[in-house]
Amino acid sequence: MKKNNLIALFLMLCTACFCSCSQQEKTVTFAIASDFHAQDVPDGKERLSSFVRAAQDANADFIIELGDFCRLDSANQVFHDIWNSFPRDKYHTIGNHDMDAYTPDEYVAGMKMPGRYYSFDKGDFHFIVLDGNNLYDGKKYTHYSKANYYVNPKMRAFVDPEQMEWLKKDLESTDKKCIIFSHQSIDTFMNNGKEVHALLAGENKRAGFKKVVLAFSGHNHSNYTKKIDGITYVQINSASYVWIDKPSQTEKRYPAEINKRYPILNYSMTYDKPLYAIVTLTEDEADIKGTKAGFLPPTPEELNMNDSIGVFPLVSSIEDAKIRFLSLIHI
């Protein structure tokens, strides 16, 4: 009897171990950040180093930044060296300010990106990086290039037709759950975001299961999570600051020489710590572990500011979130 009990216990332990190992094999972890603007803030090196250390501590499978990273010139090589110190895979997204001094081909080559949009697989997930940095004047699409995008906002932030066709084919080519990365938010900022969302939601309907589950974006220097047609959109806050587009009394935050060297500080509010998130994916959910910071004083409250800038929350955090993936959709 005792022998049978021991055998049963042994089998239970083996089953538990097998299940645990299987679950671990299906887990994908990545570190995500956006809008470092590393050359525009006095502690860009420290912010980027903190992100890379956090990714290493989390044993992340890869890191990704959602655009507005830093320039390619030799003065910024230190930022690239810090980024490249991460020992596993590293991915970039093109942001609008990445096009201030370069053509798209120059930036893609300089950052060693596969292309201005691309996809890759990790574990049981398919990841897609989009490029929303296109102008549209009603007749033709033109990519941002050397700061040519400072025009009517209604002409900016489009995903071009060629890319839309590629996205459709790329989604149809995989049976894995899909996660989207872009600089501009599909849900709020892209001028043809509704068309992009319709394509994503349409693929879920065509596939007959919840294929596209998450879409991460940056650009807005804010943080929120919303769900549309079963797809969860996550806004990743800037790693560094929020732009308020008016004098921010930065003379009370930094010495005069710092404000002169980094003029963007005059119209922004800096976070006192870098913001980023660690995301762990399993078959059933995404577990987002964010970071929280404060504002270097004077704070928004001290300046009698509203709690939002336009439609975007004025916050110095990336909130934790658990996002469940439903296997089926209602057709």
Quote the crossing angle between the two packed helices 193-207 and 161-172, to the nearest 10°. 20
Q: What is the pLDDT of residue 14?
A: 54
Q: What is the pLDDT of residue 13?
A: 52
Locate tokens 């299940």: which residue?
19
More confident residue, 213 or 328: 213
Using DSSP's 3-state secondary structure scheme, residue 27 falls into coil
**pLDDT single digits (tens) 68-120:** 999 999 999 999 999 999 999 999 999 999 999 999 999 999 999 999 999 99
Q: Which fold has domain 31-324?
A: Purple Acid Phosphatase; chain A, domain 2 (3.60.21)
CA distances from 290 to 57, 147, 183, 274, 278 (A): 14, 32, 18, 11, 7
Residue 195 near residue 136 (C-beta atoms within 8 A): no
Q: What is the pLDDT of residue 4?
A: 54
Q: What is the mean pLDDT of residues 58-73?
A: 97
Q: What is the mean pLDDT of residues 202-220?
A: 97
Q: How confident is the model at residue 35 (pLDDT cuts 50, 70, 90)?
A: very high
Residue 39 near residue 263 (C-beta atoms within 8 A): no
Domain assignments of the chain as residue spans, ordered by start:
31-324
CA distance 61 to 83: 14
Q: How confident is the model at residue 127 (pLDDT cuts 50, 70, 90)?
A: very high
Residue 322 has pLDDT above 70, yes or no: yes
Give me the half-sphere count of Cα atoms (radius 13 Å) on the Cβ side of residue 200: 27
Residue 219 has pLDDT above 90, yes or no: yes
Using DSSP's 3-state secondary structure scheme, residue 79 falls into helix
Q: What is the pLDDT of residue 1?
A: 46
**pLDDT single digits (tens) 251-305:** 999 999 999 999 999 999 999 999 999 999 999 999 999 999 999 999 999 999 9
**pLDDT single digits (tens) 139-185:** 999 999 999 999 999 999 999 999 999 999 999 999 999 999 999 99
Q: How confident is the model at residue 26 (pLDDT cuts 50, 70, 90)?
A: confident
**pLDDT single digits (tens) 222-251:** 999 999 999 999 999 999 999 999 999 999
Three-class HEC string of 130-176: CCCCEEECCCCEEECCCCCCCCCHHHCCECCHHHHHHHHHHHHCCCC
Q: Cα 120 from chain centroid?
A: 15
CA distance 181 to 32: 10
Q: What is the pLDDT of residue 58?
A: 98
